[in-house]
Structure 1
Amino acid sequence: MRASRLVTLLLLLQNRGRMTARQLAEELEVSVRTVYRDVEALSAAGIPLYGDAGHAGGYRLVDGYRTRLTGLTADEAQAAFLAALPGTAAELGLGEALATAQLKLRAALPAELREHAGRIQERFLLDAPGWYGDGDRTPHLAAVATAVWARRAVVLRYRRWRAPEEIERRVEPYGLVLKAGRWYLVAAGPSGVRTYRVDQIDELRPLDEEFAIPDGFGLAAYWDSYLADFRARLHTGEAVVRLTEEGARRLGVPHGGGEWTEARVPIESLDHAHQEFLRLGTDVEVIAPAELRDRVAETVRVLAARYTRSSCGAVR
């Protein structure tokens, strides 16, 4: 464990520059005293690092020093190549850079790890978009990504589902999220931090205005909060249903045994629930709310009458 920690400490200093003992301790999840001992061990091994005293001090490597040690295990090397999405990188204008980076990483790996990485690319393919779509056209994605990288404000002309359907807004792009094959921009605007679908951007005008992301903002934390709020708003009601074992499996709820089981399930709206429960056919019976049960029953009556007429008039 200590050897792995020493490698991690060295790579942290190489990638981030000066870091205090406390910062290193937090990253490595050890005590400050342990960091002191590890630094002494690296110095004794001939690693050219030194510490600066004072409030703005810390440890850093001698300028120009870089280790050739990657510290990658076989699993880490596999993960690095598995995480690389060529289509995504190409959309962001980084396709060539990704290919070059993979070549450099492969060249730096020992022969055994190169073989592991090669097998990953031969045997696994990540395809983010869903089955029933070719992915959204995002002509402004590269420009959005550039603004995110450069921390430059932009003016968006944006289409949305509610009135006014088209808006123009100055925003500060904080980050991009790829969710199920669709790109979302997280940006600060007049109403605070909001989420915008990149494929709904009709026009983008970059501005020569830099901005700083507020302290404490984290893209991953914001996205988790956004998804939680989205789900809370999505499922605003509840339905009581009886399900066969197959219906419970398809709906993703536990089955209590026996021929039927009763369950309470969240629903987005009566319209949406009506369509979703009809998909389950004879594997579901809606108990409540009464309005939803009546709508399903009426649909079944209409279908039964239609198929009865079709059967009587069919040519045999």
Structure 2
Amino acid sequence: MKASRLLSVLLLLQSRGRMTAQVLADELEVSVRTVYRDVEALSAAGVPVYADRGPAGGYQLLDGYRTRLTGLTTEEAESLFLAGLPGPAAELGLGTVVAAAQLKLMAALPPELRSRASRIRERFHLDTPSWFRGQEQSPHLAVIAESVWNQRRLHLRYQRWGGQALVVERTVEPLGLVVKAGVWYLVAGAPEPRTYRVSRVLELAEGDAFERPEDFDLAEFWTAWSDRFERTLYGTRVRVRMTKAGLDRSQYRLTGFQARFIRSLEPAPGEEFDFPTESLRHAYGDLLGLGAEVEVVSPVELREQMIQTISAMHSVYEGGKLPPWE
């Protein structure tokens, strides 16, 4: 355990440069006192690590010192071949780069790790798009990725959700790209961070350079934004009650957010609860699929719509009377 931690300290200093004891402690999830002891152990082993005093100080390696030791474990080597993301990498124009990097890594691995990594690549494949939906065309993705990397503003013509009439023009500071279920999203400040679906970018032009906020965390932002988006999207509530079978079916018949919401409430069969939906129109489609296992209590207009539909269906199947086709 200590040897692994010492290697982590060494690789962190090599990859990031000067780091304070507190930052190292936070990164490794240990105490600052443990970091002090680890640095002393590295120095005793001949690693040229030294400390700068003062507010801007910290530990760093002697200029030019590099270790060729990677310390890859079997699991770490295997995980690198699972993280190749061949589809998204190809969309970014990096497909050949990823393949070349994996080839070099394969050649550098010792034989016992090489064989396992090779089996990983042969037996596992990541396909990011969801079922029954083709890959979205994002012709501007490579340019956007270049702007993210080079920290250059983008002037966008963007089609917002809702049709051609909602085309807007924005100048944004690209902070990161996220691929979600095969769909690419740009996270950009304008000035506050917002998300843009890359496939809806109609035209773009690169602008001048900007300073990226040092405290911006892409993964943290995306997690918080996704949670807000789902809660906003499913902002309408209708009062329902379900049978036990209906509660069970809701876990695979409804959307992931709706299923998680119902699980969090833990309603008993027959107990009324507020069901989250995008709108009454969406609730009609969602709940009709549960058949007689759900009852809409309110609002009245949705309840009446369900009754009318069920009555019309009864006429079709019981009396053979189809509604007018027009």
| Structure-2-length-normalised TM-score | 0.86
Q: Give the equivalent residue in structure 2 for 1:175.
A: 176
Deviation string for 1:215-260 (max 9, x for gaps)? 4322122212212221221222333333343321221246878xx5
Q: Give the equivalent residue in structure 2 for 1:242.
A: 241
Gaps of 5+ in 1: none
The 1:212–1:23 alpha-carbon spacing in structure 2 relative to 1, beyond 3 Å, is same
Whether 1:126 and 2:107 are equivalent positions in the alignment is no
CA distance in 1, matches of 2:120, 2:299: 50
CA contact (8 A) 1:8 1:71 kept: no
Deviation at 1:309, TM superposition (A): 5.9
Q: Matches of residues 261-300 of structure 1 in structure 2 within 5 Å?
A: 261-264=270-273, 265-300=275-310
The percent of aligned pairs where both chains have the same amino acid is 54
Secondary structure, aligned partner of 2:271: strand
Q: Give the equivalent residue in structure 2 for 1:85.
A: 85
Secondary structure, aligned partner of 2:188: strand
Deviation at 1:95, TM superposition (A): 0.9
Q: Matches of residues 61-72 of structure 1 in structure 2 within 5 Å?
A: 61-72=61-72
* Range moving further from structure 2, 5-14 or 212-221: 212-221
CA distance in 2, matches of 1:57, 1:104: 36
Aligned residues: 308
CA contact (8 A) 1:274 1:292 kept: yes
CA contact (8 A) 2:50 2:62 kept: yes
Q: Give the equivalent residue in structure 1 for 2:222.
A: 223
Amino acid at match of 2:197: R
CA contact (8 A) 1:240 1:289 kept: yes
Secondary structure, aligned partner of 2:67: coil
The 1:160–1:50 alpha-carbon spacing in structure 2 relative to 1, beyond 3 Å, is same
Deviation at 1:33, TM superposition (A): 3.0
Amino acid at match of 2:159: R
- Superposed CA RMSD: 2.3
Deviation string for 1:118-173 (max 9, x for gaps)? 22222222111111111211111111100000000011011012485111111110
Amino acid at match of 1:69: L
Q: Give the equivalent residue in structure 1 for 2:315.
A: 305
Gaps of 5+ in 2: 252-261
Q: Give the equivalent residue in structure 2 for 1:161.
A: 161
CA distance in 1, matches of 2:241, 2:171: 50
Q: Give the equivalent residue in structure 1 for 2:27.
A: 27
Deviation at 1:34, TM superposition (A): 2.4
CA distance in 2, matches of 1:310, 1:64: 85
Secondary structure, aligned partner of 2:59: strand
Secondary structure, aligned partner of 1:51: strand
CA distance in 1, matches of 2:235, 2:33: 52
The 1:256–1:63 alpha-carbon spacing in structure 2 relative to 1, beyond 3 Å, is closer
CA distance in 1, matches of 2:243, 2:31: 56
| Structure-1-length-normalised TM-score | 0.88
Secondary structure, aligned partner of 1:262: coil
CA contact (8 A) 2:86 2:126 kept: no
Q: Give the equivalent residue in structure 1 for 2:107.
A: 107
